[in-house]
Amino acid sequence: MQWDHLVNAYEGHRYLPGGASDGRESRHFVFVREFASVISLLQDKATALIEISTDITRIVEELGTCDFTSEAFSGLLGQIQKTVRCLHQTLKYVT
């Protein structure tokens, strides 16, 4: 069975009289709906991880060019710690 077949069958099933409204969805339709939900969550988390990686890379590059003072290091390391906390929150609910 191909993915396009499942998606098109589900879309057509939703709009047929007695289709999805009769409360009896096939296992395939339930699977496709749940799979789409999980993929959407994965996509959101992947996007968040890419943004976090970009932020950390930018801050690490700033560490190489910042003033050699404890305030400068402290500020940049604080930004990295804040970004790592965001990473932890993003990954917290991955099962």
Q: By the 8 A CB rule, do 90 and 48 touch?
A: yes
* CA nearest neighbour of 9 among 27, 22, 23: 27
Residue 9 has pLDDT above 70, yes or no: no
Q: Which residues of 15-31 are buried (b: 16+ CB within 10 A; e: fewer)?
A: eeeeeeeeeebeeebee
Q: What is the pLDDT of residue 30?
A: 83
* CA nearest neighbour of 92 among 51, 48, 33, 50: 48
Give 67's DSSP letter.
-
- The pLDDT confidence band at residue 14, using thresholds 50, 70 and 90, is low
Q: What is the pLDDT of residues 22-62, one digit of tens each?
A: 556 678 778 888 888 888 888 988 999 999 999 999 999 99
Q: By the 8 A CB rule, do 29 and 10 touch?
A: yes
Domain ranges of the chain: 3-92
Q: What is the pLDDT of residue 51?
A: 94
Whole-model pTM?
0.64
Cα(79)–Cα(89) distance, integer angstroms: 15
Q: What is the pLDDT of residue 91?
A: 78
Q: What is the pLDDT of residue 35?
A: 87
